[in-house]
Structure 1
Amino acid sequence: MKRRQFMQAAAVGAAATAVAAPAIAQSMPELKWRLQSGFPKSLDTIYGGAEVIAKFVSEATDGKFQIQPFAAGEIVGTAQIADAVGNGTVEMGHTCSFYHFGKDPTFAIGTAIPFGLNARQMNAWLYQGGGNDLLNEFYAKHNLYGMPAGNSGVQMGGWFRKEIKTPQDMQGLKVRIGGLAGMVMQKLGAVPQQIPGGDIYPALERGTIDAAEWIGPYDDEKLGFAKVAPYYYYPAFWEGGPSIHLFINQAKWKELPKAYQSILTAATGYANTDMLAKYDAKNPAALRRLLGAGTQLRPLSQEILEAAYKAASEVFDEVSAKNADFKKVYESYRAFRNEEYLWFQVAEYAYDTFMIRARARG
């Protein structure tokens, strides 16, 4: 009797499996996508975000969904990534949204704007404050779907060949910086320069530019800026918590099975957290090495920050008056920022301030 019951159950199970297998196979198709990074392989932390996404997606799908990352310029240049993803040249891009500021200034808000959100606040706005939904309404106009896929935390203010102490010192200064930050610098009298990351060092060395911003100690050390510009300023008021995005061709995203969409979303979320953790872990030792080699660490003066804050407010008003998309996204961003700092000044700021002072006392 028991044997007959077992055989009947096994037969039912086999029939169910025969039905289920094709359904599973259909929901797990074999795909090979190309991912164009906006960064060189030498910058392992920021380029590594693309590799993390590819690894997790492959492992979660038993290798059926393969994503191949390409370093900056291997298929298209960094400035062409949004167009390449939108027109289907590549399925995906891992880059900074604000690199496409020239197409529309609204792209800048997807990464960072002057005096904007820090990394935690940016994630809060994107994930819980409706920020990513608003951005995707905008990105859809360019046939893109975007997800946050990395963050460096607040960046450094950059490398200067001479000291700057007042806003007047900015007059005529040729600075490698772009986007909205470049517009702010221009209001302060500086001359913003658009220069790719790989060309910054020779431009500083030759004196073609007087200053340049990049990311922070870990990456800046790799690029060797300390050899040609002795003064290292902080903080980058233009990048308080820059988010790197994964751009996906919108049509390709919609075609993905729900299981693959979920896996890709989870992998991208992990890459977002992992990148910030790596920068936070690697920057302290890199800063120590730079200082030990003679780098002169300097804060941007309160006078410069105040002048830049005023200039940034003017820029936002000017751009909002001309661009409805920017205005819509920026108003959400600004309201969220104001609420976040109401909270951060209570607990986070008080705690961090005490701990920094306690460390200084030994």
Structure 2
Amino acid sequence: MERRQFLRNSTLGVAAAAAATTLAAPAIAQTVFEWRMVHSWPKNLPGVGAGAERLAERITRASGGRLKITPFAAGELVPALQCMDAVMDGTAEMGHDASFYHSGKHPAFSIFFAVPFGMTADEQLAWFRFGGGQELWDELNDQFGIVSFPAGQTACQSFGWFKKEITSMQDFNGLKMRIPGLGGELIKKVGGSAVVMPAGEIFAGLQSGAIDAAEFIGPLNDLALGFHQVAKFCYGPGIQEPGGAVQLMVNKAKFQELPEDLQQVIRSACAEGYIDMKAEYDIRSGEAMATLANDHGVQFMRLPNEVLQGLGNAAGELVQESMDTGDDLTKRVWQSYLASRAMTMRTLRFNEQAFLNARTLEFTFPAAT
């Protein structure tokens, strides 16, 4: 009996001592990374600007404060269109913008943001995740020492704001339009000139006459930027950017220095940011359209079929020329992109497009109150 009690007490004593040792052991210090994120958007701009701020906060919070991200809006640390240079040279560890701003470095960068008459937001995500798009993007970015992740989505954009009506393809002759990327190449192909300028300069450009027209995403941002004050007509649909995949760029060397769990925090935060931004645009753009139409008398107009077909033909020529003259990587990006577009269109035409057409038919359905 005494021996059993002794063994019991000894066992409890050892366990207690072990627990005490565990409790008394000092916590293992964890490295805290303090990073800067530059982005191309005016401070507090809804949609893309808010998305950049949310992404920085989301990464900081999800990492438990081990990866602290401080965002810098356009012009605060670097000019709006120089985010990639800042990430490459280490001025900032991260950059949040549209990849087509960097097509001067390699023309294939434009493909990863948006293609005229190309893929929608959902189709783009399918390409990135399951169609080989991310792998090709990684291959392109390797040349510049960065990695990129889809981190936001503008959804289908507006075609733009115009001071004069667009009734035929001839109306593009001599037109000066703020429009970057492949959309800009499309405008040049149909007789206009494309001007690249950051969001914060578009209003002044329209007001001064430096440009005759401009596109920048859609009603949510257009209302905030005041385009309705200097241009009369807003046209859709945004065939130049049927889905705009906003990117988070990260300096590759810095990314590889992070522990694996923090790398995954960035990937997961970007995936959530893609969905989150699209959701904001989907609902708040409708609210902005109502305000623009009801309070400011904006005319939302659809491009005539003749114009849509003319732009579509020009877009097809543009893509074919890029495939014919591009380097091996550009050709492989296009092959992958077009294969995914064909595959997703097959189901979307049968289901979602057919449903959206059906929803325009006359039938009784409760209205919003």
2:40 to 35, 38, 41: 38
1:93-132 correspondence runs (5 A): 93-132=95-134
Q: Residues of 2 paired with 1:181 and 1:231: CA distance?
A: 19
Q: Which residue of 1 aligns with 2:352?
A: 348
Deviations 1:246-303 (CA, angstroms, capped at 9, x unpaired): 0000111111100101111111111111111111120111101111121111111111
Alignment partner of 1:328 is 2:332: yes
Q: Residues of 2 paired with 1:316 and 1:112: CA distance?
A: 12
Alignment partner of 1:299 is 2:339: no
Q: Residues of 2 paired with 1:360 and 1:106: CA distance?
A: 47
Q: Residues of 2 paired with 1:56 and 1:3: CA distance?
A: 50
Quick one: structure 1 residues 202 and 343, their matched pair in 2 at CA, closer, same or farther if it must change by over 3 Å?
same
> Unaligned stretches of 5+ in structure 1?
none
Q: Residues of 1 paired with 2:303 and 2:9: CA distance?
A: 82
Would the aligned equivalents of 2:114 and 2:182 in 1 still touch at CA under 8 Å?
Answer: no
Quick one: structure 1 residues 109 and 357, their matched pair in 2 at CA, closer, same or farther if it must change by over 3 Å?
same
Q: Residues of 2 paired with 1:104 and 1:359: CA distance?
A: 50
Alignment partner of 1:187 is 2:189: yes
1:78-97 correspondence runs (5 A): 78-97=80-99
Give me the identity figure in percent: 38
What letter matches 1:343 in structure 2? T
Quick one: structure 1 residues 359 and 300, their matched pair in 2 at CA, closer, same or farther if it must change by over 3 Å?
farther
Q: Residues of 1 paired with 2:342 and 2:21: CA distance?
A: 59
Quick one: structure 1 residues 88 and 358, their matched pair in 2 at CA, closer, same or farther if it must change by over 3 Å?
farther
Q: Which residue of 2 aligns with 1:201?
A: 203
Q: How many residues align?
A: 358
Q: Residues of 1 paired with 2:16 and 2:41: CA distance?
A: 54
Quick one: structure 1 residues 87 and 14, their matched pair in 2 at CA, closer, same or farther if it must change by over 3 Å?
farther
Q: Residues of 2 paired with 1:104 and 1:275: CA distance?
A: 27
CA drift at 1:56: 2.0
Quick one: structure 1 residues 247 and 7, their matched pair in 2 at CA, closer, same or farther if it must change by over 3 Å?
farther
Would the aligned equivalents of 1:87 and 1:143 in 2 still touch at CA under 8 Å?
Answer: no
Q: Which residue of 1 aligns with 2:155?
A: 153
Would the aligned equivalents of 2:154 and 2:278 in 1 still touch at CA under 8 Å?
Answer: yes
Deviations 1:128-153 (CA, angstroms, capped at 9, x unpaired): 22211110110110111001100010
Would the aligned equivalents of 2:152 and 2:275 in 1 still touch at CA under 8 Å?
Answer: yes
Of residues 52-61 and 115-124 in structure 1, the stretch that sits farther from structure 2 once superposed is 52-61
CA drift at 1:14: 6.2
TM-score (norm 1): 0.93
Q: Which residue of 1 aligns with 2:285?
A: 283
Q: Which residue of 2 aligns with 1:71?
A: 73
1:271 to 255, 261, 273: 273
Of residues 311-320 and 148-157 in structure 1, the stretch that sits farther from structure 2 once superposed is 311-320
What letter matches 2:176 in structure 1? K
Partner of 2:310: helix, strand, or coil? helix
Quick one: structure 1 residues 321 and 55, their matched pair in 2 at CA, closer, same or farther if it must change by over 3 Å?
same
Q: Residues of 1 paired with 2:20 and 2:263: CA distance?
A: 30
Q: Residues of 2 paired with 1:359 and 1:261: CA distance?
A: 50
Q: Residues of 1 paired with 2:66 and 2:79: CA distance?
A: 28
What letter matches 2:142 in structure 1? A
State which structure, 1 or 2, has the greater radius of gyration over its C-alpha atoms.
2
CA drift at 1:17: 7.7
What letter matches 1:319 in structure 2? S
Deviations 1:115-136 (CA, angstroms, capped at 9, x unpaired): 1110111111112222111101
TM-score (norm 2): 0.91
What letter matches 2:332 in structure 1? K
2:261 to 237, 259, 262: 259
Q: Residues of 1 paired with 2:282 and 2:10: CA distance?
A: 63
Q: Residues of 2 paired with 1:17 and 1:190: CA distance?
A: 72
What letter matches 2:83 in structure 1? I
CA drift at 1:16: 6.8
CA drift at 1:195: 2.4
Q: Which residue of 2 aligns with 1:170?
A: 172
Quick one: structure 1 residues 9 and 284, their matched pair in 2 at CA, closer, same or farther if it must change by over 3 Å?
same
What letter matches 1:356 in structure 2? T
Note the aligned Cα RMSD (angstroms): 2.0
